[in-house]
Amino acid sequence: MAQQEQSQKPQPQKQQGDKQKPQKQQQPIAELRRVRIEKMERLRDEGVPVWPERFERTHTLEKAADLAEGTEGVRIGGRVIAKRDMGKLIFAKLRDFKGGLQISLRKDGLDPELFKRFKKRIDIGDHVGCAGRIYRTEKGELTLEVESFEFMGKALRPLPEKWAGVKDVETRLRQRYLDLIVNEEARDRFRLRTSVVRTMRRYLDDHDFEEVETPILATKASGAMARPFTSHHNALDIEVTLRIAPETYLKRLVVGGYDKVYEFARCFRNEGMDPSHLQDFTMLEYYCAWWNYEDNMRFTEELVKHTIKEATGGFTVERKDEDGNVTRTLDFGGESWPRVTMRELIQRDCGIDITAQEDAASLRAAMIEQDIRVDKMDVLGRGALVDQLYKKVSRPKLIDPVFLIQHPTDLSPLARRNDDDPSVVDRFQLVVNGWEVVNAYSELVDPLDQRARLEEQAGLRAAGDDEAMDLDEDYLLAMEHGMPPISGWGMGIDRFVALITGQDSLRETVLFPLMRPE
């Protein structure tokens, strides 16, 4: 089951920072660049390789910072992010991705030419390799006393001011490398993202899931309700789509005999952009044969709690405003997260009983009577209308983790009907802070029922609902070869990381989000 909520179409927004003013510089960039190029040329004239091929390190900066005083023969490399010239003594700070360390150069303890070179030719932003001994300054800061150094690369442009960081949103997104150089919080956030993926992968592997890869190019946009990106395959002379979800291919593998299978899949949906939606995003999907959605809910809670604990050290996540003030605390702890049906949630929040509205026309009339309007409500089918109604009146009120269950059948074309009430499916969503984090269900394995539902979707598509699913004959062919009971699951990784790092926009959790060209 793909994370279908990702496919909904928020109103397009201007990209953050599109009209913000660029950062102020004390001198024009062109002049600063010219001066740095001159320094580089002088280094070349002095016989210094200006783009050397390597430097042998004994320690990363993170590991060097744990060394004992008096350790000799230490060789480190990093970017100069601060430099303080005190005449016969120079202090500088080096940084790499995981750590930093202060270095010092004494005029009477270093080759005079090297001391002069560091003093005159090295700028903030340059890379250097240093060798020396670890000691502590009078103020107690662990420092490498440099006995020799090598120039390892010139930064032709200045870095942002150290204390100001990169505050301009557009600069931060377009030039993420600057954000990573000067903002420790950004480095921590992306290291946490890596930790989340690593932790989930290890947890799934430990529970006998097998990781696979499925196609990104497909002939049908299946697995979710979304508008695809399209392209042309020249060699085969056919139209193709970028996948909107890996779902139907992963379920083909269950037909082939896989019991537990998962994929970290890059997905693409050609729809609107807002802080909680991106057109290209990373989704984790898994499928387990012989499970139902109740089994899946229990496993989901265990997996998410384990991941948050491993990544953050606890079960609470703080949301903060721009000034760093805590505005909301999300609690992922507790013995068991609550469960609520879509029907009772909507009825509580707006008074509409969706089970009493058996078609799109009657539901539309009930919404208009309550003065509730959503985009394209004149052409949406009943299922899509229920989904938009829920997102309008209920979802923003869901803060701490809650499982939303019993979605209407016409909203879930790939999910199994409930045995006691065929008007709903055995599906759940994990909703936190008004965001859908997980979408999962007991999979529909009856090929005849699946064909009927996909034919209904094809009719809605023909009537103007461009998020309705295509009829996928190849997938139906696989289903007719027999499926065991299956429960499937999908999580948007970008959204989950944004949630647990307190970010309001998914673009702050993606290293290089797509931006409109300047």
The string of DSSP codes covering 91-142 is EEEEE-SS-EEEEEEEGGGS-HHHHHHHHHH--TT-EEEEEEEEEE-TT--E
Which of residues 394, 429, 459 is at a domain's end?
394
Domain of 301, CATH number, reads 3.30.930.10
Q: DSSP string spanning 44-64?
A: HHTT--SS-S----SS-HHHH
Count of domains for the chain: 3
Does 170 map to a domain?
Answer: no
| Judgement on whether residues 196 and 127 belong to the same structural domain of the protein | no
pLDDT score recorded for residue 166: 66
Across the chain, which has 518 residues, the per-10-residue mean pLDDT values are: 46 44 62 95 94 96 97 97 95 96 96 95 97 96 97 93 67 91 93 97 98 95 86 96 95 97 96 87 97 97 97 89 81 92 95 92 94 90 91 94 93 88 94 94 93 88 78 93 96 95 92 90
Q: Which residues contact 478 (CB under 8 A, 6 or more apart)?
A: 251, 252, 255
State residue 26's pLDDT score: 58
Question: What pLDDT sits at residue 164?
Answer: 54
- Do 324 and 366 lie in one domain? The reply is no
Q: What is the CATH number of the domain that holds 51?
A: 2.40.50.140
Domain check: are 418 and 467 in the same one? yes
Q: By the 8 A CB rule, do 408 and 415 touch?
A: no
- Residue 277, in any domain of the structure: yes
How far is it, in rounded angstroms, from Cα 30 to Cα 42? 19
> Domain range holding 219?
177-337+400-509
- Whole-number pLDDT of residue 318: 87
CA torsion angle for 296, 298, 304, 309 (degrees, to 10)?
A: -150
Structure confidence at residue 17 (pLDDT): 41
Distance CA 339, CA 89 (A): 65
- Whether residue 145 is found in the same domain as residue 183: no
| Residue 280: how many other CB atoms lie within 10 Å | 15
Among 265, 54, 32, 14, CA closest to 150: 54
- 333 and 347, same domain (yes or no): no
Q: Could you give the angle at the alpha carbon of 445 between the alpha carbons of 439 and 450, nearest 5°?
A: 85
In a domain, 462, yes or no: yes
Q: Are 227 and 207 in contact (CB under 8 A)?
A: no
Q: Of 118, 153, 188, which closes a domain? A: 153
Angle 316-319-325 from CA coordinates, rounded to 5°: 120
Residues 231 and 277 in one domain: yes
User: Do 381 and 422 belong to one domain?
Assistant: no
- Residue 5 counted as domain residue: no
410 and 378 inside one domain: no
3-state class (DSSP) for residue 12: coil
Residue 353 lies in a domain: yes
Report whether 111 contacts 127 (CB < 8 A): no
* Residue 165 within any structural domain of the chain: no
Considering the domain architecture, whether residues 304 and 374 belong to the same structural domain is answered as no
For residues 250 and 183, membership in a common domain is answered with yes
Question: Do residues 388 and 439 both lie within one domain?
Answer: no
What is the spatial distance between Cα 431 and Cα 100, in angstroms, rounded to a whole number?
39
Domain final position from 369, 394, 419: 394
Domain assignment present for residue 442? The answer is yes
Q: Are residues 387 and 406 in the same domain?
A: no
The verdict on residue 436 lying in a domain is yes
